[in-house]
Amino acid sequence: MFNRIFMFAIIIGVPLSVIGSIMHWPAVSLFVIYCATIVALAGFMGRATESLAIVAGPRIGGLLNATFGNAVELIISIFALKAGLISVVLASLTGSVLGNLLLVGGLSFFIGGLKYKQQKFNIHDARHNAGLLIFAVVVALVFPEVFSYKLNDAESLTLSVWVSVIMIILYLAALLFKLVTHRGVYVSEHDEEHGEETAEWSKGKALLILALATVAVAYISEKLVHTFTEVGHTLGWSEVFIGVIIVAIVGNAAEHASAIIMAYKNKMNVAVEIAIGSTLQIAMFVAPVLVLVSLFFTHSMSLVFSLPELIAMVLAVFLTITLTSDGDTNWFEGLTLLAAYVIMGVGFYLL
Interface positions with a second copy (CB under 8 A) = 117-118, 124, 127, 130-132, 134-135, 138-140, 142-144, 146-147, 149-151, 155, 158-159, 162-163, 166-167, 169-170, 173-174, 177, 181-182, 185, 307-308, 311-312, 315, 318-319, 321-323, 325-326, 330-333, 335-336, 339-340, 342-344, 346-347, 350-351
Please state the closest distance from residue 344 (CB atom) to a second copy, in A: 7
Alpha-helix runs per DSSP H in 149-247:
153-176, 203-225, 228-235, 239-241
Please state the closest distance from residue 126 (CB atom) to a second copy, in A: 10
Q: For a second copy, which is the closer residue by CB, 46 or 277?
A: 277
Please state the closest distance from residue 186 (CB atom) to a second copy, in A: 9
Q: For a second copy, which is the closer residue by CB, 217 or 242?
A: 242
Q: For a second copy, which is the closer residue by CB, 71 or 319?
A: 319
Q: For a second copy, which is the closer residue by CB, 174 or 257?
A: 174
Count of CA atoms in the C-beta half-sphere (13 A) of 286 = 30
Distances (CA, A) of 23 to 12, 93, 221, 349: 16, 31, 17, 31
Q: How far apart are CA 238 and CA 272, in angstroms?
A: 31
DSSP-based three-state secondary structure for 120: strand
Q: How far apart are CA 133 and CA 322, in angstroms?
A: 12
Please state the closest distance from residue 104 (CB atom) to a second copy, in A: 17
Q: For a second copy, which is the closer residue by CB, 158 or 229?
A: 158
Q: For a second copy, which is the closer residue by CB, 82 or 120?
A: 120
Q: How far apart are CA 141 and CA 156, in angstroms?
A: 12
Whether 197 and 58 have beta carbons less than 8 Å apart is answered as no
Please state the closest distance from residue 211 (CB atom) to a second copy, in A: 34
Q: For a second copy, which is the closer residue by CB, 2 or 143?
A: 143
Burial class (CB in 10 A: 0-12, 13-18, 19+), 274: buried
> What does residue 194 show for φ and ψ, rounded to 5 degrees?
-70, -40
Amino acid letter, 191? D
Please state the closest distance from residue 333 (CB atom) to a second copy, in A: 6
Please state the closest distance from residue 28 (CB atom) to a second copy, in A: 24
Q: Which residues lie closer than 8 Å to 217 by C-beta, 6 or more apart?
A: 38, 41, 42, 45, 71, 72, 75, 76
